[in-house]
């Protein structure tokens, strides 16, 4: 019986040169309620595609007059909306990866498992189903379901603040690859926003209404990894009183985000590879394997090719996960994003704490731009959080902002004009506050002496207001005579 009655008029094109297989696929799809047409070679397929559009195209990789990737290429250059599923020979990982890179929605390996085949076609059809949904809206406008979905996808992209060329690239790439099944690997330093990128990929995919399961691989004790990933059955080990789904089962129909993938131990890497290749997992204590339909997005701050070459990361798993690669640049390479990032982060902080959005003065922004921020956007967020918590007015100050010298200055860092980065080679004081107080006192005393103890002129020289310099003189207990005409309690 068809599971997808509502989508029953979806049109599928099957391309395979083996008549038996063609018939098998055709019958399977007809029983699901789809309308099916078939072709035995590239040329025949092109004729059908030229005559009308389909929802899904399923093509064998090797065809008598060309390759399945030729069809993919056609669809791409003609900017057609058909989702393409490529069927590759068993064990031919390169072909599978190649077709995903070329824009295939998904692939299946031979011999095709019909249950899996139906699931994959159903997700591909669902992805394009709005065209077939009852058109309740005005011609040209989107049916409600798609509108909501694309809105949340757009919102997820908008959450990624930044207008620099590199961030625009990242966003374009997200929009481009979100809707395929291809695994994506996100690289970037800690705190650059990799998880936000992963979330935007999910929100813009056809799985947006499915589950989103984010896992920090480095946070799970090694002996629990298998149970956490693949689940466990009741009684599988002492104390397991009920069946527990693993990450794969929980993410079924959605996206599994594997953060810090580089920290996964080798033994677990092999198990993960198998699960990805076979699309099956076996819960601990289970007799049977179960099929899982998840899209994998992984992230790492490590140099995984280097880990591969030292044998710490499996090369085959690396290739499986890294079909599509997205690099999130560090903040120091997109300093121009600082103002809009601050604005977005402050708006978020204010919303979370139910307070009005504080203003960031030019001066405060200047102060921030002197920071190296090796912790990237997370560090910036923490600084802003602190400033908001400590500020008493609506305009933020960073009175005690210190140079970030916790990690070496990156070589390619170019400071913005007029702002000098702090040297990382200063000798570090043991008591920072008294060290800074002493420096401030020396500067004030020297300026006061040079201006004949005229506080107004000294303040002007140092870019302070009269009130500020008076406050500092008092705080640092500087013994300065009053300037002529100045009242002691002014
Ligand atoms: N472009 C951005 N716009 C707005 N907020 C951002 C942006 N990039 C990162 N953030 C915020 O910075 C914090 C860190 O981001 P995220 O957790 O995505 O980084 P990450 O690269 O995954 O870090 P890690 O490698 O340490 O897991 C989050 O609170 C996130 O919301």
pLDDT at 486: 63
Q: d(Cα 443, Cα 425) in Å, to the nearest integer?
A: 22
Looking at residue 37, what is its pLDDT? Answer: 93
CB-based contacts of 16, cutoff 8 Å, min separation 6 = 22, 25, 38, 40, 59, 60, 63, 87
Whether 214 maps to a domain, the answer reads: yes
For a substitution probing ligand 1, which of 161, 185, 187, 192 has the most ligand atoms within 8 Å of its CB?
192
Residue 241 has a pLDDT of 74
Structure confidence at residue 138 (pLDDT): 27
Q: How many residues does the chain have?
A: 490
Domain assignment present for 136: no
Expressed as residue numbers, the domain containing 369 is: 331-396
Question: Residue 198 C-alpha to ligand 1 middle, in angstroms?
Answer: 10
Q: What is the domain-level CATH number for residue 357?
A: 1.10.8.60
Contacts for 70 with CB less than 8 Å, ≥ 6 apart? 42
Both 200 and 316 in a single domain? yes
This model of the complex carries an ipTM of: 0.98
Burial of 463 (0-12, 13-18, 19+ CB in 10 A): exposed
Query: Would you say the CB of residue 337 lies under 6 angstroms from ligand 1?
Result: no
Q: Cβ(329) to ligand 1 under 6 A?
A: no
Same domain, 10 and 122: yes
Domain check: are 179 and 313 in the same one?
A: yes
- Please indicate, yes or no, whether residues 348 and 392 belong to a single structural domain of this protein: yes
Q: Is the CB–ligand 1 distance for residue 196 below 6 Å?
A: yes
Nearest-CA residue for ligand 1 atom 15 is 193
Angle between helical axes of 432-450 and 466-475 (0-180°, round to 10): 120
Q: What is the pLDDT of residue 70?
A: 93
- Give the HSE-up count for residue 394: Cα atoms under 13 Å, Cβ half-sphere: 6
Nearest CA to ligand 1 atom 9: 193
Give the span between the Cα atoms of 233 and 261, in whole angstroms: 26
Q: Same domain, yes or no, for 391 and 436? A: no
Q: Are residues 41 and 89 in the same domain?
A: yes
What is the mean pLDDT for each group of 10 consecutive residues in the chain (490 residues)?
52 93 88 89 94 92 92 89 86 72 82 85 69 28 31 82 94 90 93 95 90 90 88 78 88 94 95 92 92 94 94 93 93 93 91 80 85 90 83 69 44 32 56 81 86 82 80 81 58
pLDDT of residue 417: 32
Tell whether 246 and 194 lie within a shared domain: yes
Q: Are residues 235 and 340 in the same domain?
A: no
Q: Kindly state if the Cβ of 160 falls inside 6 Å of ligand 1.
A: yes
Query: Are residues 97 and 179 located together in one domain of the fold?
Result: no
The Å distance, Cα 381 to ligand 1 centre, comes to 9
Are residues 228 and 94 part of one domain? no
Report CA(291)–ligand 1 centroid distance (Å): 33
Q: Which of 169, 186, 193, 344 to mutate to test the pocket of ligand 1 (most atoms within 8 A of CB)?
A: 193
Number of domains in the chain: 4
Give residue 413's pLDDT. 31
Q: What is the CB neighbour count within 10 angstroms for residue 167?
A: 20
Q: At what angle do helices 42-51 and 68-77 cross, to 10 degrees?
A: 30
Q: Flag whether 120 is in a domain.
A: yes
Interhelix angle 68-77/93-101, nearest 10 degrees: 10
pLDDT value for 400 = 60
Of 143, 120, 135, nearest in space to 56 by CA:
120
Q: Is 88 domain-assigned?
A: yes
Q: Choose which residue among 162, 174, 196 to substitute to test ligand 1 binding: the one with the highest number of ligand atoms within 8 A of its C-beta.
A: 196
């Amino acid at each position: 019986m068809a599971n997808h009655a509502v989508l029953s008029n979806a049109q599928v094109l099957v391309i395979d040169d083996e008549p038996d297989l063609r018939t098998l696929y055709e019958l399977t799809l007809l029983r699901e309620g789809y309308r099916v047409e078939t072709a035995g070679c590239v040329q025949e397929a092109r004729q059908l595609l030229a005559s009308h559009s389909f929802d899904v195209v399923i093509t064998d990789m090797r065809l008598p007059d060309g390759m399945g990737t030729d069809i993919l290429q056609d669809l791409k250059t003609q900017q057609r909306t058909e989702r393409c599923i490529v069927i590759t020979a068993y064990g031919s990982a390169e072909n599978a990866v190649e077709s995903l890179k070329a824009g295939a929605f998904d692939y299946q390996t031979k011999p095709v498992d019909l249950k899996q085949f139906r699931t994959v076609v159903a997700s591909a059809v669902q992805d394009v189903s709005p065209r077939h949904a009852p058109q309740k809206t005005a011609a040209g406008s989107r049916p409600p379901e798609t509108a909501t979905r694309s809105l949340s996808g757009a919102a997820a992209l908008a959450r990624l603040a930044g207008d620099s060329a590199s961030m625009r690239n990242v966003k374009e790439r997200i929009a481009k690859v979100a809707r395929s099944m291809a695994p994506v690997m996100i690289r970037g330093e800690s705190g650059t926003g990799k998880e936000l990128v992963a979330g935007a990929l999910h929100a813009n995919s056809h799985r947006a209404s499915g589950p989103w399961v984010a896992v920090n691989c480095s946070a799970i004790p090694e002996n629990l990894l298998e149970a956490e990933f693949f689940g466990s059955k009741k009684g599988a080990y002492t104390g397991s009183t009920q069946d527990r789904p693993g990450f794969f089962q929980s993410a079924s129909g959605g996206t599994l985000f594997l953060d810090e993938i580089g920290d996964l131990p080798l033994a677990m890497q092999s198990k993960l590879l198998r699960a990805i290749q076979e699309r099956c997992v076996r819960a601990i204590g289970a007799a049977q394997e179960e099929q899982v339909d998840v899209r994998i997005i992984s992230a790492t701050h490590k140099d995984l090719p280097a880990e591969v070459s030292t044998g710490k990361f499996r090369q085959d798993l690396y290739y499986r996960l890294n079909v599509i690669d997205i690099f999130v640049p560090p903040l120091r390479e997109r300093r121009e994003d600082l103002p809009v990032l601050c604005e977005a982060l402050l708006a978020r902080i204010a919303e979370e704490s139910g307070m009005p959005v504080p203003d960031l003065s030019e001066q405060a922004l200047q102060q921030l731009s002197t920071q190296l921020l090796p912790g990237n956007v997370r560090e910036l967020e923490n600084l802003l959080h602190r400033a908001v918590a400590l500020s008493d007015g609506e305009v933020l100050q960073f009175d005690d902002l210190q140079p970030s010298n916790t990690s070496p200055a990156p070589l390619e860092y170019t400071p913005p004009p007029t702002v000098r980065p702090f040297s990382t080679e200063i000798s570090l004081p043991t008591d920072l506050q008294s060290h800074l107080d002493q420096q401030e006192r020396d500067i004030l005393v020297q300026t006061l002496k040079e201006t004949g103890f005229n506080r107004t002129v000294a303040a002007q020289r140092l870019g302070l207001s009269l009130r500020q310099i008076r406050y500092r003189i008092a705080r640092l207990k500087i013994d300065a005579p009053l300037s002529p005409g100045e009242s002691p309690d002014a």
